[in-house]
Amino acid sequence: MQSFRTEIENPVVERDIIELEKKISLFRTGQIDEEKFRSLRLARGIYGQRQPGVQMIRIKLPYGKVTSEQLHRICKVSDEYSTGRLHITTRQDIQIHYVSLDRTPALWAELDKDDVTIREACGNTVRNITASETAGVDPREPFDVTPYADAAFRYMLRNPVGQEMGRKFKISFSSSEEDTALSYLHDLGFIAQIREENGTKVRGFKVLLGGGLGSQPRHADVVYEFLPTDQLIPFIEAVVRVFDRHGERAKRMKARMKFLISGIGLEAFMQLVEEEKTALPFKTYPIDHETYEKAQTLPNPPSVEVAEPTDESYLKWRKTNVFPQKQPGFYTLGIRVPLGDFRTDVARKLADLVKTYANNEIRFTLRQNIIIRDVKESLIAFFYQELKKLNMAAFGYNTTGDITACPGTDTCNLGIASSTGAAVVLEELIANEYPQYLYNSDLTIKISGCMNACGQHNMASIGFQGMSIKAGKLVLPALQVLLGGATLGGGQGIFADKVIKIPSKRGPEALRALLDDYEEHAQAEEAFHEYYQRLGQMYFYELLKPLSSTDNLAPYDFVDWGNEEEYVKAIGVGECAGVVIDLVATLLLEAEEKLSLAQESLAEKKWSDGIYHTYAAMVNAAKAILTSESINTNSYASIISSFDEHLVSSGKVSLGSTLSDIVYQIKTNEPTEAFAQNYLEDARRVFSGINAFREKEVNA
């Protein structure tokens, strides 16, 4: 037994880490199929890189919050197991790269010392729950959404209903109608609301369902104008259960929840949610926000005598990076982090700074930046002085020149063209030629290295998507230009239109053309998306058309941004959203493991967890046989119906009933001890019947 195990205080985490170590060993010795192992490690935040033999580790930080102690712990891990570089994602996570797979259990154990997890940071799970970074200090918020986001995170973490879905599932919490957490592009988005009932103010959420980006973005539907907070957790679980059962599992590009809703319709989906309520362990789930809120005290840091600067750099920074909080006398400071990348030596000093002079926390933002909260007005100049020493005092926070970009071809398997290289060049162009846009927070520029939209390019005013184009027999890096996206507030947004493809090296020319035309032709106070809608898609196609020609290419055009070698299109296997085809033996082994997990849950009196493990065991066992018979298994619901049609009705497998009748008891029974025990016994009989059929087939 490795020594790191003895240092893990949380037995649940210890079991997770030991299980990961065990599965790595089985994979190394060829006892687990590579595709199935990929699914398991992704659910533990371990993601394959473009570079062979190393992993990217995604650290899950709910709503982007990290304490000084946690940031120090993350720095220690990055220095010891990686390269000392930290990357902030658009989902408020931290990623570190170039980690050996065999060292990931020890890395996880190290993170757990300060209650930091990598569990369910990748894979087909409920991903990191995001929230407005200013939640709790936002002057416009009805209430602080932080304790509700935290409750949702803790409830869904390791929850059996969200471990092996057809695709990832994303949830956000916006602090106000400004919708800074972008509810309209999430599977589930929540916007804080207050309603008065009988003279009492009641908390709740506007609820949006079924949004998403990617190659086919979908605007979420408003399903509740007001959902009381005690219904938040039951609703989330019911929705995830429906998605888990009916979501596509074979066709990766059609497996997000938005496609399920588009396919069966919103009304039918909500009916399935309603039908799921009987099986839920909680009909109401009150969330204790008062304890959290009472614990939120304002800091009383030591005084520091620093003369307020009068130079232009400070005045610019004060104008764009300093924001008053709802707490009188306190301010939030925005820190631009180019491309979301910073190093551990800087992070450590930042952690010490907020521990001594602020409120011992920072929050990572949806635009790959950092905010420091609860800074006394008298210390703003001091913070500027200290941030300047760390090279973190650039002005223009959350403005046009503060470009969002995914890692692209730097490390991601799916990257087609360099997003980070393009972002660097475009930020320099804005700073040097259009400095006025470092004060504009309405016009946004975002870049993704592929269609999956990790850089959120298709909701930006000006978006660029990495791709490739052909020029005769040659291939060169290119950018798809998208225009007109916007977040309107109140759960409303506009997705950008695809306008034209251009060689990547012409990105700066395209941006110049767009900004020059906007300066010349926009009407007074007209936002970029309004200007785009007024003039229309074809106007901008014609504006940029000269840049799309491949008749006048130079050698320069065949070298992508940030590279020296000629471009080669090289796309690996996408993992984060991948759906894998499982081997029959692996599926049967998993079914057995889930029966064991069910028994453990029942021993701990976790009836609902045990029931869901039991349900998953039966579905996995049925899927194994259908896979061996080459029968389609594209959703859990279709697995159950296909098993009855092809195996039970034909008499090949005898269960004493249909699989549907046995499995779907989960929908019609409350999660009591009696039902949980009986359901597990039924599942054991199902597994025995399926196993007997399998052994007969193998030995025939």
Inter-residue contact 57 to 117 (CB < 8 Å): no
Distances, alpha carbon 450 to alpha carbons 165, 252, 409, in Å? 23, 16, 9
Its CATH architecture, for the domain 130-293, is 2-Layer Sandwich (3.30)
The overall average pLDDT reported for the chain is 92
- Please provide the DSSP assignment of 216-256 as one string: S-BPPEEEEEEEEGGGHHHHHHHHHHHHHHHS--S-GGG-S
The yes/no answer on whether domain 3-112 falls in CATH 3.90.480.20 is yes
User: First-to-last CA distance in the chain?
Assistant: 42
Q: Which fold has domain 584-699?
A: Four Helix Bundle (Hemerythrin (Met), subunit A) (1.20.120)
User: What percent of the chain shows pLDDT beyond 90?
Assistant: 75
SS3 (DSSP) at 478: strand
Inter-residue contact 683 to 619 (CB < 8 Å): no
pTM of the model: 0.93
Provide the pLDDT for residue 63. Answer: 98
Furthest-apart CA atoms within the chain: distance in Å? 87
pLDDT at 2 over 70: no
**For residue 567, which amino acid is it?**
Y
- Please provide the DSSP assignment of 638-693 as one string: HHHHHHIIIIITTTSS--SS-HHHHHTHHHHS---HHHHHHHHHHHHHHHHHHHHH
Extended beta strands in 80-179, E state = 85-88, 94-99, 130-131, 171-174
* pLDDT tens per residue across span 486-514: 999 999 999 999 999 999 999 999 999 99
Provide the pLDDT for residue 325. Answer: 98
Inter-residue contact 303 to 317 (CB < 8 Å): no
Provide the pLDDT for residue 409. Answer: 67
* pLDDT tens per residue across span 162-198: 998 999 999 999 999 999 999 999 999 999 999 998 8
How many residues can be counted in the chain? 700
Domain locations along the chain: 3-112, 130-293, 299-389, 404-558, 584-699
Asked if the domains at 3-112 and 299-389 fall in one CATH topology, the answer is: yes
Q: How many helices (H) and strands (E) does the chain have?
A: 22, 22
* pLDDT tens per residue across span 375-385: 999 999 999 99
The yes/no answer on whether domain 404-558 falls in CATH 3.10.28.10 is no
Inter-residue contact 572 to 664 (CB < 8 Å): no
Highest CATH level, class, for 299-389: alpha beta
Provide the pLDDT for residue 665. Answer: 97
Higher pLDDT, 672 or 18: 672
* pLDDT tens per residue across span 193-248: 999 988 899 999 999 999 999 889 999 999 999 999 999 999 999 999 999 999 99
Distances, alpha carbon 600 to alpha carbons 332, 446, 610, 674, 676, in Å? 46, 47, 8, 16, 12
Among 338, 336, 329, 318, CA closest to 385: 318
Provide the pLDDT for residue 111. Answer: 94
* pLDDT tens per residue across span 543-594: 999 999 998 888 888 888 888 777 766 554 445 443 333 457 778 888 998 9
pLDDT at 451 over 90: no
* pLDDT tens per residue across span 288-316: 999 999 999 999 999 998 999 999 999 99
Most confident region among 317-331, 559-573, 650-664 by mean pLDDT: 317-331
What is the residue whose two structure tokens read 């990766």?
252
pLDDT at 1 over 60: no
Q: Bridge partners of 117?
A: 60
